[in-house]
Structure 1
Amino acid sequence: MPQRLPVNFTADAACLKDKVILVTGAGDGIGRAAALSFAKHGATVILLGRTIEKLEAVYDEIEAMSAPQAAIYPMHLRGAAAHDYQELADTIEREFGRLDGLLHNASILGQRRSLAQTTLDSWEEVMQVNVNAQFMMTQTLLPVLAASKNGSLVFTSSSVGRKGRAFWGAYSVSKFATEAMMQILADEEYDLNGTRVNSINPGATNTEMRRSAYPGENPTDNPSPEAIMPLYLYLMSDDSREVNGQQFDAQPKD
């Protein structure tokens, strides 16, 4: 049964003070909102994405709010190899000594068509970005997360990653794999080094991906990414330090 944000949780203004948090896909959408929210609540945020101009814009927004100085780390997940992730881990260890949080937010939609009509190129691209890249990045960053003693690893899931649905193809399969990765890592890492691992289904949110998936939908009918940030703050803060291996819905159905 998916969990929801505890009703008694209120994010303290400094709930992420002195934490170092990496956000993938930080240039726009939910990743941008999360990076800004984490910084506003005291975190040093590492902004990872493929478009430098977007990352720089988020960096400038963080600077303007007088939050801890962010760091920019450009990376194209479609082409990144194992040595690229090792370089990322080495840089974080050298510059910060540890990683307190990792939000896997970056993913791509791929083709919205039946599995019978899905091209191999599209299938492989979705799996590379949504599954392989997350596996390689997580594997290389586990030691710096362990150095935190209270690390938080959050995967971004989807409703179609919990129940398959026609015409969601590779994206749906990739999100099922994401949920499996979360559960396995939660079972392996929490007792070993205190790193907790959970997943979030953001729900229908006014993002570019949602608009692409539902071009006929009125985007303003869905909440903004900023509206679902309390759950993200909860899972990155010490309030959730004993929460592990759980699926969360940012917009639970009553």
Structure 2
Amino acid sequence: MNNIIRLPWQEFDTDSLRFDDQIFLITGAAGGIGSALTRELSTRGGTVIMLDKKQRHLEKLYDELCSENATEPVILPADLTQLNAENIGALVDGLEQDFGRLDALIHNAAELGTLAPLNQYDLQQWSTVMQVNLHAPYLLTRALLPLLQNAKNGRILFTTADSATQANAFWGAYAIAYAGVQAQMSLWHE
């Protein structure tokens, strides 16, 4: 007797999935998940704008992708700890001028910070974790909405963490930031 249940996505042919003529902006593009996403989208025809503070890592990934005959990515070195309402306009203006639209904004950058009790958490580290994980995604989403709306099916993806809903001791700033990201996802969806 065959008790195997086939789920709908198991029938989906991912090998033929293409992203030709689609433009993606990925934050944290030089890290593990970010570079894997960049590689996958680029090898399937997507144009990826790689945003990360680690320019040397972005350049290495760029060289690797170009040697693999992937779609040429775009390097956008930016430190999300420095992103604010005053300087985000220049970033958006550059993207609008160069691309005119975004098919997807993928919030992947993350700052873990230190693991410490809340009453002992370093306040500067707290600010950095909140800036990268919570404030920067809000600022980018708000500023880039017009470019996402210029796309046929613009979409926003957030990476998040289990600690957002299952906070554990010492994960204070990180857990609180991602609880805020999850609330933000729901509010943007509305």
Is the shorter-chain TM-score for this pair beyond 0.5, marking a shared fold? yes
Letter in 1 for 2:139: M
Displacement of 1:12: 4.0
Asked if 2 retains the 8 angstrom alpha-carbon contact of 1:161 and 1:175, the reply is yes
Letter in 1 for 2:22: K
By relative contact order (CA 8 Å, sep 6+), the higher-ranking structure is: 1
Task: Determine if the alignment matches structure 1 residue 150 to structure 2 residue 153.
Answer: yes
1:190 is matched with which residue? none
Which of 85, 95, 98 does residue 98 from structure 2 map onto?
95
Q: After the TM superposition, which residues 22-171 of structure 1 pair with which residues of structure 2 at under 5 Å, given as runs?
A: 22-171=25-174
The total of aligned residue pairs comes to: 183
Displacement of 1:48: 0.5
Structure-1 separation of matches of 2:139 and 2:44: 29
Larger Rg: 2
Q: Deviations over 1:1-52 (max 9, x none)?
A: xxxx944433244421110001111112111111111101110000111111
Asked if 2 retains the 8 angstrom alpha-carbon contact of 1:14 and 1:42, the reply is no
Letter in 1 for 2:13: T
Distance 1:122 1:98, change over 3 A: same
Unmatched segments (≥5 aa) in structure 2: 1-7
Structure-2 separation of matches of 1:42 and 1:83: 34
2:181 is matched with which residue? 178
TM-score (norm 2): 0.91
Aligned to 2:87, the other structure's residue is in SS state helix
Structure-1 separation of matches of 2:185 and 2:33: 19
Distance 1:116 1:10, change over 3 A: farther
TM-score (norm 1): 0.69
Moved more, 121-130 or 85-94: 85-94
Unmatched segments (≥5 aa) in structure 1: 188-254
Displacement of 1:103: 0.8
